[in-house]
Amino acid sequence: MATDRLTIALAQINLSVGDIEGNRETIRAFRRKAAEAGADLVLFPELAISGYPPEDLVLRRGYQKGCRIAIEELAADTKEGPAMVVGMPWVMTGQLYNAVALLDEGEIKAVVTKRDLPNYGPFDEKRVFASGMMPEPVMFRGIKLGIVICEDMWKPYACGHTAKMGAEMLLAINGSPYEMNKFAVRHKLARARVFETGLPLAYINQICGQDELVFDGGSFIYDTEGVCKAQGPLWREHLMITKWERTKAGWQPQEGEKLADTDFSNSFQGPEAVYQAMILGLRDYVEKNGFPGVLLGLSGGIDSALAAAVAVDALGPDKVWTVMLPSPFTSEDSLEDAQATANCLGCRYDVLPISNVMQVLEQSLAETFTGKQRDTTEENLQSRIRGLALMALSNKFGWMLLATGNKSELSTGYATLYGDMCGGYAVLKDVYKATVTAVAKWRNENRPEGARGPAGAVMPARVISKPPTAELKPNQTDQDTLPPYDVLDDILKGLVELDQSVDDIVARGHQREIVVKVWHMLDKAEYKRRQAPPGVKLSTRAFGKDRRYPITNKYRGR
């Protein structure tokens, strides 16, 4: 018998790739909460039972079988209480699909497969999944549900098809990773599907860090007029209860909970969002991989200070160990600023001088280097000694080493392989220098929700304002080698994110000589980036899966 009222719960949960049993229990726990709230149907994210994205892990037959068994167990749970829509990998007719199951009355009532498989940026679903059929409406207690999976909402075809076949509402099941500005894009696309189909839409997204991706949640509901009726939080697990009723114009959601900031500005795409993404990405990477904590070199500069602040906010000060490794070129200001930063954060701080190691190593190399002038080789020895010492601490105590370099440095090769690039995770890998400064200023004035670090400033103001320097030789600054960071970052965004030509970037007001120099530095450093640790994706084109360039590359734009 058809009903005129429906309560739909959106379970925005943190899932782990490969943890089938753990994911099953998380789903059960949120279903129980939804049952207590009177829900008829609970929506869970894309590939919830397997974790998303599972990459080649999903090709293992045992893994596929484990996911099927878990789904069957969850189906048995629905003999009483709310039904569920759960994302899963599913084998049918000898092919593997990215799918969702409607579980109700103790059974798997229906399976819907993903039609449009993303194969760009960090996604390569065509590598592991077969493309499914156009989604047909699924009958649920007299209601025709139009269930679509992630990318099938981003384009009009699947939603249009299920609407044409009689669907009464759209349920979009997602695993949509964070990017700057992407939150507003999701809302824009959802409204477009609403206007095209004339149907209300519920959008569920997961919340977690998974290797280089971070998922920000932000689930929402739209009515048939394109009005956002409910909006869940970002960056944390949440169960959002929404009420629906059948009207003369069809099904409509009632007004529900909303965020205070609905203009999609700072809290979604500014420094706060970048900082929250770094916190969640690092926290899940460390905790899900079982590290007891992280350690990092604290130089007295802004990059390591911000990395330390993210680590403390992600893990707590007791799980962050900072180490200053001064050389003869380390200034008193840097020593003071490193100590002051550690004091602000309340984390462990040790000083391990490297001058004696430098002297011994240079003496060992002196005869071989006879007749050669001092150059960046000797400068890099310092960075590599620091990397060696920090990795020794990591080996001895089991704490993961955190690399502290930013995207501007990694782009241009202004980083030392087997030196400051050492580490298991690079928290600033996708953050340009100008953004580092903006985020550091923001954190000094704000304590984000969910942070485990202290309130108040997390670094001295001088750390943010002083000229950046590697301090590998006397009176050195970054601008001895690089253009000013505002110029450099804008050129890099054109080259990396936008794939622009030299002429395009020059037309924006940059000097051709500088643009060509930056381009050559970018190409020349590809071999370094190929050996860099993973780090959270924040932009539309992060280094790693997003941007796959050949190391051997003779293209020069002619």
- Residues with a catalytic annotation lie at 46, 114, 150
| Through-space distance between the first and last CA atoms of the chain, rounded to whole angstroms | 69
Give the residue carrying structure tokens 């599972």: 54
Contact criterion met (CB below 8 Å) for 494 and 470: no
Query: 114 near 57, Cβ under 8 Å?
Result: no
3-state secondary structure of 234: strand
- Give the number of other Cβ atoms within 10 Å of residue 92's Cβ: 12
Structure tokens at 493: 């965004």
Measure CA 41 to chain center: 29
Cβ burial, residue 556 (10 Å; 0-12/13-18/19+): exposed
Q: How far apart are CA 150 and CA 205, in angstroms?
A: 9
Report angle CA 291, 297, 303 to the nearest 5 degrees. Answer: 105
- The rounded distance, in Å, linking the Cα atoms of 5 and 246 is 6
Degrees, nearest 5: CA angle 415-416-417: 120
Which pair of structure tokens corresponds to residue 263? 């203009």
Cα angle: 399, vertex 400, 403; to 5 degrees: 140
In the numeric block, the tokens 């253009």 are attached to: 483
- Segments in 400-511 forming alpha helices (H): 407-412, 433-445, 461-465, 485-492, 502-507
Q: What secondary structure does DSSP assign to 136-175, as a single string?
A: PPEEETTEEEEEEETHHHHSHHHHHHHHHTT-SEEEEE--
CA distances from 175 to 141, 178, 271, 430, 507 (A): 27, 10, 23, 20, 38
3-state secondary structure of 340: helix
